[in-house]
Chain A
């Protein structure tokens, strides 16, 4: 059974929608769901005022409408599946611990920020600080998987601690900024200064890019882990080629202003 929440009209002010999570809707009747309160701008509104509720169940929830101003969709969710049919606003999937959040359109900034587990799939593009850390936090994403079929903005994976971020399109500047660990895979072009201040994480780039002078080349090889990682991404639906799986990558170690335990793996052209 699928529970469908259809936005009645585009909200006049930003709307915070942490409550629209499968685990928070579980066990509630339709009337109880309609009485849930959301922040609409600086006032509280009931879910029923803003969304038409149809269907039943809470394991599979669909949210329909122009949700570009709806923040925190799926934030903190711990199970089930939430599908957003359209764009989602900022903080989508932030802090989620488990389950699957699928956004059919674009997501705003901070998608998957400080996420701990589960999977965030974005069919469109993502804004800045994908999987990032909020101000004051030492670490961003702690686990799980983020797949973006379009592009990602600046500072994707900033302060990444663990987990996998894969972007099929372009990745903005400073990907992996101060990342502690984890993996970022960029299938499209990658912006300036990837891995700035990175400690132990991995950035995989399928296109050549100019690196900071604090990165040094180690060798060109076939990283065994990358085969697993790319096969996993292919199984999840990203367009990964055989050449990328079988390819040779040059390993750049850095950032030497930090631990120099991070790596940027850049795919070499076929020989």
Chain B
């Protein structure tokens, strides 16, 4: 297949079910909301080493937030609902509760919920208070600045983790340019996040390793420097660098849409070849075929 003259491999991205939540952080200024959201979603690139994956979904105008202040919505994903609940409590507690002027709200109406504010309330050491408004309970936790407000229950859904696109180009600068263009286009899709730094990973991995205890290791098939050393290299002649974009979404559709717009942007921005990563189709329940994304 070709898209804007770029070869698109007829393959698919293999993704997994992950539980996701949307966290809305508000603050007196957009800058403080960003500080909190960046900390909230920091060190959350991959469940391989971070126990969760997270990213900023978008900035929110004051008119869009529950308390009428500027905000940021972030998505956080974990392999199971219990783990997601734990990560939410840890991260909201350590990054939003601690950040000046912020408040934290559930951003996802869902059948399943997890208790966040109800667990963080114990930081109040008995001085916390709750208020119920329009059927939702909020916790007021006294802090040195004044008061931290956090919603008790957060909606969680079974979403999708591990949608991906892989961009190959002549050199690192060109490949990164294509990936940056793709990531910029993908960020406009609501309900999906790109958990890696800047949305882009340079170190795609494979399951396992020759070393015991190493659960993941470099994807040697796509390392250009190993092209002449490994028998199963997938790096074509003329390709000098490869980047991957991983997409997590609250449902399959945002992941598919992010891949579609990313594919189009990368094909217009210098990629020589675009492919996707999978494990043969036997591990993940979600398969996003590139042929369905090419017009």
At the interface, is chain A mostly helix, strand, loop or mixed? mixed
B131 in contact (CB, < 8 A): yes
Contact residues in B for A229 (Cβ distance below 8 Å): 131, 133
Q: Measured between alpha carbons, how far is A225 from B132 in the docked complex, in Å?
A: 10
B75 in contact (CB, < 8 A): no
Q: Is the CB of B69 within 8 A of A225?
A: no
Q: Closest residue of chain B to A145, judged by CB? A: B134
Q: Measured between alpha carbons, how far is A143 from B136 in the docked complex, in Å?
A: 12
A200 in contact (CB, < 8 A): yes
Q: Closest residue of chain B to A200, judged by CB? A: B129
Contact residues in B for A143 (Cβ distance below 8 Å): 132
Q: Closest CB of chain A to B25's CB: distance in Å?
A: 12
Q: Which of A137-194 contact B (CB under 8 A)?
A: 143, 162-164, 183
Contact residues in A for B69 (Cβ distance below 8 Å): 227
Q: Is the CB of A231 within 8 A of B68?
A: yes
A261 in contact (CB, < 8 A): yes
Q: Closest CB of chain A to B107's CB: distance in Å?
A: 15
B67 in contact (CB, < 8 A): yes
B149 in contact (CB, < 8 A): yes
B129, B131, B132, B149 — most chain A CB neighbours (10 Å):
B131
Contact residues in B for A225 (Cβ distance below 8 Å): 131, 133, 138, 140, 147, 149
Q: Closest CB of chain A to B85's CB: distance in Å?
A: 23
Bits for B118-141, please: 1 = Cβ < 8 Å to A, else 0: 000000000001011110001010
A222 in contact (CB, < 8 A): yes
Q: Is the CB of B66 within 8 A of A228?
A: yes
Also in contact, A162 and B148, with CB within 8 A (given A228-B138, A245-B68): no
Bits for A231-261, please: 1 = Cβ < 8 Å to B, else 0: 1100000000000010000000000000001
Contact residues in A for B280 (Cβ distance below 8 Å): none
Q: Closest residue of chain A to B105, judged by CB? A: A228
A11 in contact (CB, < 8 A): no
- The count of residues in chain B whose C-beta lies closer than 8 Å to any C-beta of chain A is 16
Contact residues in B for A270 (Cβ distance below 8 Å): none
Q: Closest CB of chain B to A242's CB: distance in Å?
A: 10
Q: Is the CB of B67 within 8 A of A228?
A: yes
Q: Is the CB of B103 within 8 A of A224?
A: yes
Bits for A201-244, please: 1 = Cβ < 8 Å to B, else 0: 01000000000000000010111110111011000000000000
Contact residues in B for A202 (Cβ distance below 8 Å): 131
Q: Closest CB of chain A to B219's CB: distance in Å?
A: 46
B146 in contact (CB, < 8 A): yes
Bits for A59-78, please: 1 = Cβ < 8 Å to B, else 0: 00000000000000000000
Bits for B52-75, please: 1 = Cβ < 8 Å to A, else 0: 000000000000001111000000
Q: Which of B103, B129, B146, B148 contacts A221 (CB 8 A)?
A: B146
Q: Which of A74-121 contact B (CB under 8 A)?
A: none
- A to B CB contacts below 8 Å, 10 in the list: A200-B129, A224-B103, A224-B149, A227-B68, A228-B149, A231-B66, A231-B68, A232-B133, A232-B134, A261-B129
B residues adjacent to A (C-beta < 8 A) = 66-69, 103, 129, 131-134, 138, 140, 146-149
- Extra inter-chain contacts (8) besides given A228-B133, A229-B131, A261-B129, CB under 8 Å: A221-B146, A222-B146, A224-B103, A224-B148, A225-B140, A227-B67, A229-B133, A232-B133
- Nearest 5 Cβ contacts at the A-B interface: A224-B149, A227-B67, A221-B146, A224-B103, A225-B131
